[in-house]
A and B are shown apart, each in its own frame.
Chain A
């Protein structure tokens, strides 16, 4: 095995990023990999907290209030949308590159893109050019998000073949938790650099960029992939495939041709659509459904509570799926979710804030659980070899849901109000529509069967892919061993 220490000039300046230099030595603890993954996901989870910058960025000229020439909230809303668009696009386009190049190269690049996105955005704020922020946070940041989101997934699955749900749940939980850190940290940085004549957004962006770069590169340094024949102590891999867990691999582009991929795509899309629309409107909805009882301060607390359960649900449900199976876990989401969405209008009609809050914390835990369970679902259906790349394509379902969920909630609410429905009841139809979406999701999940073996990689294809992987690693080692100037 080649190590960085053995080959100082490994593969050129960035040789240490090669997959071959990421292979774990005997005795490496697999429990080092979840913190490495968390280093990435805790940072990119900042995306959920980007809205803390929106209001300050509308006052960059006027300082205390918006002045002519200041940016409008509608213009600023595009920053997040562009980032989410490039998250989905980059995850799909670079999924195979991430899979084949190994997690360290992907994490390193993700950290670089994420930090560069903040640096360019800081310049954009400084010179007051919104297009630079679209380019920085939207484009570069979006690519950092996409690469970072998928980069540790297949590595964790390979390290934890006995508990893939728990392992990916841990990492994806970090994405939910990233907002918790980013929100108070961003506010603190802005306060630190604000003066009576200056809003400290640019400096906060610079600070976040530096902090995230260091944090993400630490994750890239820690991460390792298991040696080819490695398996956990006491773990015996199943010799025969069970009903819904394959022992074969499916090539990434063949996976896209299977009905199973698209059924899981819809399962994720519908589960996310139902959750994301509510998450975005939680504050306004709680106040409008319980006027005079839930104040803006209490509504902010409600949003915090939802974020907490969004994070906890990721770990809880993904870990549970290791015991009850992925398909059954999604059945839980769709059955319980449908019942709870249908109950929400009733909690409003009887004025039960407790019932309302309970319904939504469970719903949001299942929204997070849907994200965290899906990589293990893909692994069960398509095998381990290309699961990262296939997951990358699946992330487009999130981008789609991110657009349609909030639009659906806002549109239905406005339609209701325009037709004379009181604000307190304006969300009732929305809740029934969400319940309906989950019924469709239930049906999609019901139709998921094992992937037909004609899509499985043949032994010769697997051997060729393994040889190609080994070839890249050998080439990297040879490249690394060349004397300087050769």
Chain B
């Protein structure tokens, strides 16, 4: 499936790429959930 090999993409490069987009997205989602929770108060 994933074509990672020793000469190609390193696992840390893959992890870094996902963290790079994952952190801001997770922060945004957390903010939105906190906002959405007001509907149920």
A307 to B21, CA, bound (A): 18
Contact with B along A144-188 (1 / 0, CB 8 A): 000000000000000000000000000000100101111110000
B residues in contact (CB < 8 Å) with A: 1-9, 13-14, 17-18, 20-21, 24-25, 27-29, 31-33, 35-41
Would you call A218 and B14 a contact (CB within 8 A)? no
User: Among A5-13, A24-32, A129-137, which stretch is in contact with chain B?
Assistant: A24-32
Residues of B within 8 A of A180 (CB): 25, 28-29, 31-32
Would you call A222 and B17 a contact (CB within 8 A)? yes
Q: Give chain A's interface residue range (CB within 8 Å of chain B).
A: 35 or more
Output the least CB separation between A291 and chain B (Å). Answer: 16
Contact of A29 among B3, B27, B35, B36 (CB under 8 A): B3
A-B contact pairs, 22 of them (CB 8 A): A27-B3, A27-B5, A28-B3, A29-B3, A29-B4, A32-B17, A38-B21, A38-B25, A39-B21, A180-B28, A181-B27, A181-B28, A182-B28, A183-B31, A184-B28, A298-B39, A301-B38, A301-B40, A305-B39, A308-B32, A311-B29, A357-B39
Output the least CB separation between B30 and chain A (Å). Answer: 9
Please indicate which of the listed interface residues A177, A233, A311, A357 has the most CB atoms of chain B within 10 Å of its own CB: A177
Would you call A301 and B39 a contact (CB within 8 A)? yes
Q: Let me know if A69 is at the binding interface, CB within 8 A.
A: no
Residues of B within 8 A of A422 (CB): none
A30 to B31, CA, bound (A): 30
Within 8 A of B (CB), among A98-122: none
Output the least CB separation between B11 and chain A (Å). Answer: 9
A32 to B13, CA, bound (A): 8
What secondary structure prevails in chain B residues at the interface with A? Answer: helix
A308 to B36, CA, bound (A): 9
Residues of B within 8 A of A218 (CB): 20
Would you call B39 and A27 a contact (CB within 8 A)? no
Contact with B along A300-315 (1 / 0, CB 8 A): 1110110110010000
A183 to B29, CA, bound (A): 11
Known A25-B7, A308-B33; 17 more pairs at CB < 8 Å: A25-B8, A29-B8, A31-B2, A31-B9, A32-B13, A35-B17, A39-B21, A42-B25, A180-B25, A180-B32, A181-B28, A183-B28, A234-B1, A294-B39, A301-B39, A302-B36, A357-B39
Residues of A within 8 A of B27 (CB): 181, 184
A252 to B9, CA, bound (A): 34
A298 to B33, CA, bound (A): 12
Residues of A within 8 A of B38 (CB): 297-298, 300-301
Would you call A39 and B14 a contact (CB within 8 A)? no
Contact with B along A241-280 (1 / 0, CB 8 A): 0000000000000000000000000000000000000000
Residues of B within 8 A of A294 (CB): 39
Output the least CB separation between A392 and chain B (Å). Answer: 24
Residues of B within 8 A of A38 (CB): 21, 25
Output the least CB separation between A22 and chain B (Å). Answer: 15
Contact of B3 among A30, A297, A300 (CB under 8 A): A30
A177 with B28: in contact, given A233-B3, A300-B38, A304-B36 (CB under 8 Å)?
A: yes
A38 to B29, CA, bound (A): 15
A42 to B5, CA, bound (A): 29
A29 to B35, CA, bound (A): 37
The 3 tightest CB contacts between A and B, nearest first, are: A27-B8, A180-B28, A301-B39
Would you call B9 and A29 a contact (CB within 8 A)? yes
A39 to B24, CA, bound (A): 10
A299 to B9, CA, bound (A): 46
Contact of B36 among A31, A182, A305, A311 (CB under 8 A): A305
Would you call B17 and A36 a contact (CB within 8 A)? yes
Would you call B14 and A32 a contact (CB within 8 A)? yes
Q: Let me know if A351 is at the binding interface, CB within 8 A.
A: no
A300 to B25, CA, bound (A): 20
A179 to B18, CA, bound (A): 19
Residues of B within 8 A of A39 (CB): 20-21
A302 to B5, CA, bound (A): 46
A177 to B27, CA, bound (A): 10
Would you call A298 and B41 a contact (CB within 8 A)? yes
A300 with B9: in contact, given A28-B3, A174-B21 (CB under 8 Å)?
A: no
Residues of B within 8 A of A305 (CB): 36, 39
